[in-house]
Amino acid sequence: MKKNNLFCYGSILMLLFLSTIIISCNKKFDEPPASTTGNITDTTLEKRLISVKALRAKHRSGGFEQITDDVVIKAVVVGDDRTGNIYKALYIQDSLNWGIAIKMDGNSLYIDYPAGRLIYIKCKGLYISDYNATVQLGVIDNSVPYNPTLAGIPSPLFDSYIVKGSFGNKINVREVTLAQLNSTASAAGAGTLNNDSLQSTVVKLNEVQFSNSDKGLLYSDTTAGKSSVSRNIVDCPGTSTKTVVYTSGYATFAGVRTPRGKGSISAIYIPYRSTPELVIRDTADVKFTGLRCDGTTGEPPTNITSIAALRALYDGSTSGVILPNTLITGVVISDASNGNTANGNLILQDGTGGIDLYFGPVAIFLNVGDSVTFDVSGGKLLAYKGAAEISLSSGAISSATVIASGKVVTPKILTAAEFKTQMAVPLVSNKTEGTLVTILNATVPAGVYQGNIALTDASGSTIMYTATAASFSQTALPTTAKTFTGYGTNFNTTAELILRNLKDVK
């Protein structure tokens, strides 16, 4: 009987053991492991705390200061790399609402250090410096003699310097104005870094919108180059005060278009020299759902405005005319590849006339014969040295929609005298400027194309101009009468014919 009792007790223990194994094996695979860190305050670290403000006070603009005291900062992560708009860095903000950037030599930092997580950073041995007026904490890189740089904390050392705290902490957001950000950035750019309590923290701007030239465009560069892009934010009335939204080409939302309305934006503020920049965590940070400052939705126009009608809007002022919602279409007749059209300029011609579009110092990727639609809303129509021009931001070229390529524009055949007469018509009604013109049976003096060349036919002479930068500027001029084709422009009061390339001479 005693032996049987032992067997029964053993059987019961075995069943209990098997039951424990079965229960353990049936644990849900998607159930996250319980966090073993960060759920309590680290009292040892708390005794060594200093504020971010006090830490930053140890730095002098342009310097590299090693932290030799055994001090700790305690802050909440307010910006991580989840969407790719922040790279190898965290932005943290303490309870006094001072912030600092932490350089980290690792990727997918958001897994361990997501926004809202409290962290302790043991600062002893780290260095503090600044990058274009943004204060950063990291390690020193002396690999280039006499040129130290601040590098990211190596990933194997993350746990040596950073103690993980609790998740889901509140991120404090301060409401500011564009004027405040511009003033703060200006001071930071001048070297006054330790008074800048806004940098590397989350701020909120109300009643703002993307500028006319930056609304409805991609946040960043989606080409293989993946360059970072800055888009302007303005306040109402949306004229003078501005800041920029800076977006990496690697951001997951780089291919999303900027909203056209007005509203609020929350973002991490950083100064770049004296320019205030906003770094959004994702597009949810931008809530531009209201009407724009001018009371419109900002949506692109649905009707095409002819170039003739657009030129007629010019009022003769030196400051120019800001265009309302305006969509134009035409064929590109300038050739950016041969350098005889100034950098950033594009000549567009439709059935009513032509005009120069200027995008600033940006490469023109459109070719001769491309049929294109442009949203030029917010551009400035003016007389630049006598010629009609629409001045646009460099980002506005991305509004181009190529409808077709290889379109052929038939030039108007004029004599030299007719060309000069038609080019003298006032800008508002000039139908020859910015259009293709052919002058037949014309001669030129001996020499090369560069500069102002007299182009003479039986009716008289006009000027043919070739820029020094043109690929053919040093080519010898023809010695016999030829047919010359180019687009017309005015330089002050002088009518000029601009060749695109040597194929225009036959």
| Tens of pLDDT, residues 339-395 | 999 999 999 999 999 999 999 988 888 999 999 999 898 899 999 999 999 999 887
The answer to whether 225 touches 249, Cβ cutoff 8 Å, is: yes
**In this predicted structure, what is the pLDDT of residue 395?**
78
The answer to whether 383 touches 202, Cβ cutoff 8 Å, is: no
For residue 110, give the 3-state DSSP assignment. Answer: helix
Which residue is it, tokens 């503020």?
A: 269
pLDDT band at 19 (very low <50, low <70, confident <90, very high): very low
Full set of structural domains in the chain with CATH: 43-164 (2.40.50), 174-290 (2.40.50), 307-404 (2.40.50.140), 412-504 (2.40.50.200)
Quote the CA–CA distance of 27 and 198 in Å, as a whole number.
Answer: 46
- Look up the pTM and report it: 0.63
Dihedral pair phi/psi, residue 285, rounded to 5°: -70, -15
For residue 160, give the 3-state DSSP assignment. Answer: helix
The answer to whether 83 touches 252, Cβ cutoff 8 Å, is: yes
pLDDT band at 405 (very low <50, low <70, confident <90, very high): confident
For residue 262, give the 3-state DSSP assignment. Answer: strand
| Consecutive H or E run containing 134 | strand 134-141
Quote the CA–CA distance of 65 and 62 in Å, as a whole number.
Answer: 10
Quote the CA–CA distance of 165 and 41 in Å, as a whole number.
Answer: 8
**pLDDT(478) > 80:** yes
Quote the CA–CA distance of 381 and 397 in Å, as a whole number.
Answer: 16
pLDDT band at 239 (very low <50, low <70, confident <90, very high): low
**In this predicted structure, what is the pLDDT of residue 237?**
66
Q: Which of 237-246, 285-294, 368-377, 440-449 has the lowest mean pLDDT?
A: 237-246
**pLDDT(148) > 80:** yes
Rounded to 5, what percent of the chain is helix, strand, coil? 15, 35, 45
**In this predicted structure, what is the pLDDT of residue 4?**
39
Q: Which of 92, 152, 153 is nearest to 118 (CA)?
A: 92
**pLDDT(504) > 70:** yes
Q: Which amino acid is at 111?
A: I
Token output for 213:
């030239």
pLDDT band at 223 (very low <50, low <70, confident <90, very high): confident
Quote the CA–CA distance of 84 and 61 in Å, as a whole number.
Answer: 28
**In this predicted structure, what is the pLDDT of residue 331?**
96
**pLDDT(51) > 90:** yes
**pLDDT(38) > 80:** no
Quote the CA–CA distance of 83 and 39 in Å, as a whole number.
Answer: 26
First to last CA, the chain: 121
pLDDT band at 245 (very low <50, low <70, confident <90, very high): very high
pLDDT band at 180 (very low <50, low <70, confident <90, very high): very high
For residues 414-421, give the mean pLDDT.
97
pLDDT band at 44 (very low <50, low <70, confident <90, very high): confident
pLDDT band at 41 (very low <50, low <70, confident <90, very high): low
**pLDDT(33) > 50:** no
Q: Which of 28-32, 107-111, 293-297, 421-425 has the lowest mean pLDDT?
A: 28-32
Quote the CA–CA distance of 171 and 174 in Å, as a whole number.
Answer: 10
Token output for 51:
């504020």
**pLDDT(81) > 70:** yes
pLDDT band at 294 (very low <50, low <70, confident <90, very high): confident
Token output for 327:
């969509």
Quote the CA–CA distance of 141 and 151 in Å, as a whole number.
Answer: 6
